[in-house]
Structure 1
Amino acid sequence: MTSHADPGDKVIEAREVDVVRERRLLLAGISVTIRAGEHWALIGPNGAGKSTLLSVLGAYRHPTRGQVDILGQRLGRTDVFQLRRSIGRVTPQHPLRSALTAREVVLTGATGTIDLMPRWTPRPDELERADHLLYLLGLPTTTTHVLLLREGRTVGCGRVEKVLTTEMMSNCFDHSVRILRHAGRWAAVAAPDSAAPHFLTR
């Protein structure tokens, strides 16, 4: 579960982050600052580096170069196992070993594990937080910021109104698309055809 922070406080700050694996550059020069109260969308085609970036920002992978501060703690200088307890990252890539309820999956974020820990009992505040997060899943949300990735590099980063544009999305996916917004929802349609819209986020 994420720790409490005042609106505007830095939650994550990544500076010139590179990730290299088997001599292959997965991320190159990624810089982003995320503050409390912001709601970010990470968008990019397959292989853009989204999962790699999320693993770094979730304290599950260290950058090859660059600096990453998460909740005021710098990767490489802190106990990542303890830090993960404050992040609560839940991913569908986790290989669950047993059948879990949605609430139990969320609670794995309290321990930073991929399954419920044996003989671990969540505190009342952790149960309350998990229920609150599940409740939020059913509500429409307003995206404030977007980070666009392509081939491990930043294509666009900042306020959603400035980044989620027809030009920048077409560049990100190397395909002509048109960005629309209707009733608070963003959509991408193939251009110039009037295909059915693919809703990106709310």
Structure 2
Amino acid sequence: MLELKDVDFVRDGKLLLAEVSLTVAEGERWALLGPNGAGKSTLLNLCGAITHPTRGTVEILGRRLGTVDIRTLRESIGHVNPRHPLRSPLSITDIVLTGLTGTIERMPRWSPTAAQVSRARELIALLGVSSLADSPWTTLSQGERGRALIARALISDPQLLLLDEPTTGLDVAAREQLLETLDQVHASHPELGSILVTHHLEELPTSTTHAALLREGRVVAAGVAADVLTTELVTRTFAYPIEIHRTAGRWLATASKLPLLH
């Protein structure tokens, strides 16, 4: 579904990503972790066909960036950004429907079909916000907005789902509700590949299968989550002694007395 080979990304003369290689297969649910400034959002933008690599190749759903119409390609990618720049009081239903047009606001002179409205309602129910389907964006909590944006990303039946720190600004209860929702999405869409960016291991859903650790624009480790999210590798990535535990499918990071690994 996604393959990056020896990717460099340079902006304003600064190397933000260096020699990054990553492969995501169908149905794999990846976590992308690293400290601030590691290049996580930059990498996610490449995966979402928002930017192009300076060097190396990026193939998304079998199509290489630079040789394909990216507008068409983006139709197969669901992108969830909790900093969604909507300012008008659209209802959740209207917000979900904007996922069909790839716009922030409802497109002028565009009307959804009855089937499209029905599909939007189905996704709103799946995400657990049916009671708010007609509520305006301006009155929603951050957690409700997050679930609405996931429904918006899913309405175009994407093959790849990208989530950029989806639990940003959530309290612990809203965070847990959102993570449960992501597990439900993966259970109902088993073929869907996904990448979730976060700083915190506690924000990973139990359905996470793979992980990549990024530091200073380089991949420290990538592979099966249980092999990558270890005390040694996470400590090296964050340059701070961090001990990793896993209970009931969830990860926990705590300060460790282990020496720093260089």
- The equivalent of 2:131 in structure 1 is none
Q: CA deviation at 1:100?
A: 4.1
- The equivalent of 1:156 in structure 2 is 221
Name the Cα RMSD after superposition. Answer: 2.3
**Counterpart among 233, 240, 256 of residue 175 in structure 1:** 240
Q: For 1:131, what is the secondary structure of its paired residue?
A: helix
Work out the CA distance in 2 between the residues paired with 1:40 and 1:107: 26
Q: CA deviation at 1:85?
A: 1.2
Higher relative contact order (CA 8 A, sep 6+): 2
TM-score w.r.t. the length of structure 2 is 0.63
Between Structure 1 and Structure 2, the one with more helix by share is: 2
Structure 1 residue runs of 5 or longer lacking an equivalent are 1-10, 194-202
- The equivalent of 1:131 in structure 2 is 124
Question: Does the 8 Å contact 2:35/2:215 carry over to 1?
Answer: yes
Alignment of 1:187-202 (within 5 A): 187-192=252-257
- The equivalent of 2:14 in structure 1 is 24
Q: CA deviation at 1:88?
A: 1.8
Q: For 1:83, what is the secondary structure of its paired residue?
A: helix
> Cα gap change, 1:132/1:73 in structure 2, threshold over 3 Å: closer, same or farther?
farther
TM-score w.r.t. the length of structure 1 is 0.80
CA deviations 1:115-152 (Å, max 9, x no partner) are 43333334535526743763585434411100110111
CA deviations 1:25-83 (Å, max 9, x no partner) are 01011111101111100101110001100001000001111111111111001111111
Q: How many residues align?
A: 183
**Counterpart among 36, 61, 78 of residue 51 in structure 2:** 61
Q: CA deviation at 1:114?
A: 3.6
Q: CA deviation at 1:106?
A: 4.6
AA aligned to 1:54 is: L
Work out the CA distance in 1 between the residues paired with 2:78 and 2:101: 8
- The equivalent of 1:13 in structure 2 is 3
Q: Does 1:39 align with 2:42?
A: no
Alignment of 1:98-117 (within 5 A): 98-102=88-92, 104-117=94-107
> Cα gap change, 1:105/1:20 in structure 2, threshold over 3 Å: closer, same or farther?
farther
- The equivalent of 2:194 in structure 1 is none
**Counterpart among 59, 79, 94 of residue 69 in structure 2:** 79
> Cα gap change, 1:108/1:190 in structure 2, threshold over 3 Å: closer, same or farther?
farther
> Cα gap change, 1:72/1:106 in structure 2, threshold over 3 Å: closer, same or farther?
farther
Question: Does the 8 Å contact 1:43/1:149 carry over to 2?
Answer: yes
Moved over 2 A (4+): 92-141
> Cα gap change, 1:105/1:24 in structure 2, threshold over 3 Å: closer, same or farther?
farther
> Cα gap change, 1:144/1:70 in structure 2, threshold over 3 Å: closer, same or farther?
same
Structure 2 residue runs of 5 or longer lacking an equivalent are 129-149, 151-177, 184-205
AA aligned to 1:131 is: I
AA aligned to 1:17 is: V
Work out the CA distance in 2 between the residues paired with 1:83 and 1:120: 21
Question: Does the 8 Å contact 2:96/2:120 carry over to 1?
Answer: no
